[in-house]
Structure 1
Amino acid sequence: MIRIGIIIGSTRPGRNGDRVASWIRDLAAKHAGDTADFELVDLAEYALPLLDEAVPAAQAPGRQPHTRRWAERIGTYDGYIMVTPEYNTAAPASLTNAIDYLHHEWGGKPVAYVGYGIYGAVMAVQKLRAQAGALRMADIGPQVALSLHEDFLHFTEFRPRDLHTAQVHGLVDELLAWAQALGPLRPASARARASH
């Protein structure tokens, strides 16, 4: 069974990301049925400090206990859906920092994006796509862009428009197809990590 991690990118108090991620998980699980498992991965539960590893992740696995815990969780998935807000045209520091902690765990896997913000977090996602490319991830398809004006009441109460359901279904279909197609690359990625 394909395993997908839905990463809640914001750790901010009062965030909307946890509600958006739960909505994505429920829609994805119902649509995919028994073909995939979708799990929430909440960055707030990991409390990763600003990157504190002396050696870059591309050169050697991290030594800190929080890095190892994070790597073990992320390494179990075949693909990811990143749920991100947009702060000043970028993803939150919590998400980019968490991505930077690892390298080989991301490689050979697809990633999709669900953004929420004034303009659907499209600029934040654009920057995350560049980061994904550097990590040898396959960033797939158009994002699901949720507007704080149209999909939230008073910017806080999440009320997604019906049109997003079909978008999520399309995102899930493409993500799972890529996860299956990239399967042969994942053992190579694991071997590369073990050799460091």
Structure 2
Amino acid sequence: MKLNVIITSTRPGRNGEPVGNWFFDHARQNPGGFNEVVLSDLAQQGLPLLDEPHHPRAQKYTQDHTKAWARIVDGSDAFVFVLPEYNYAPPPSFYNAIDYLALEWGYKPAGFVSYGGISGGMRATQSAKEILTTVKVMPIPEQVAVPMVFDHLKDGVFEAPQIVRDSADTMIAELARWAGALKTLR
């Protein structure tokens, strides 16, 4: 099974890159039932505001960036969205990436590594869960929340406290259970 860690922020100077890199490395060392862990960075995917002429359910993609994104999502068994909180919500890049596709998302679980100020991005994950369920992604309850992320960044590297590492291990193991169970529906 393949776990896809997706860095959702595309903002220059973003904190999502060091947090996402930390989680990716952590998941590779502690795969919890996944035999492959990959990293996708929306800043590298180059998805402009949805520019496909057909509804995503038709899968009649015309743009190379959409075709590449469809292969990445379709080839994944579970997702971890590294998600900041912008104005109590996920970044627009998250919504845009979800909206590009429809069927490729279906019957796969998702977890979150959220970060931000005092709330640790948890308000953003609540909004993200609602949109994910419309494309038949199962958001699991376990997540990793990083409040006051700035306090854990040193020279561009995220230094995870023990509670964050423990939360990551719990979430990864749970994602593997769900991915195995949902695989029968795909």
TM-score of the aligned structures, taking structure 2 as reference length: 0.92
5+ unaligned residues in a row in structure 1: which ranges? 187-196
Q: Which moved more, 1:94-103 or 1:35-44?
A: 35-44
In structure 1, the residue corresponding to 2:22 is in which secondary structure? helix
Q: Which moved more, 1:56-65 or 1:88-97?
A: 56-65
- Distance in 1 (CA, whole Å) between partners of 2:127 and 2:37 is 24
Residue type of the partner of 2:51?
D
Partner of 2:135: 135
Distance 1:46 1:150, change over 3 A: closer
- 1:61, distance to aligned residue in structure 2 (A): 3.4
- Distance in 2 (CA, whole Å) between partners of 1:74 and 1:58 is 14
- 1:142, distance to aligned residue in structure 2 (A): 2.6
What's the CA shift string for 1:22-76, capped at 9, x where partnerless?
1112222222277421111011111111011222212443222211111111111
Distance 1:32 1:158, change over 3 A: closer
Partner of 2:18: 19
Q: Which moved more, 1:101-110 or 1:66-75?
A: 66-75
In structure 2, the residue corresponding to 1:105 is in which secondary structure? helix
Distance 1:137 1:34, change over 3 A: closer
What's the CA shift string for 1:118-149, capped at 9, x where partnerless?
11111110011001111111111232110126
In structure 2, the residue corresponding to 1:141 is in which secondary structure? coil
Partner of 2:90: 91
1:151–1:161: 8 Å Cα contact kept in structure 2?
no
- 1:159, distance to aligned residue in structure 2 (A): 2.8
Q: Does 1:102 align with 2:101?
A: yes
2:115–2:149: 8 Å Cα contact kept in structure 1?
no
TM-score of the aligned structures, taking structure 1 as reference length: 0.87
What's the CA shift string for 1:88-140, capped at 9, x where partnerless?
11111111101110011100100101100011111110011001111111111
- Distance in 2 (CA, whole Å) between partners of 1:116 and 1:48 is 23
In structure 2, the residue corresponding to 1:13 is in which secondary structure? coil
- Distance in 2 (CA, whole Å) between partners of 1:33 and 1:177 is 9
Aligned residues: CA RMSD = 2.0
Partner of 1:189: none
Residue type of the partner of 2:65?
H
**How many equivalent residue pairs?**
185
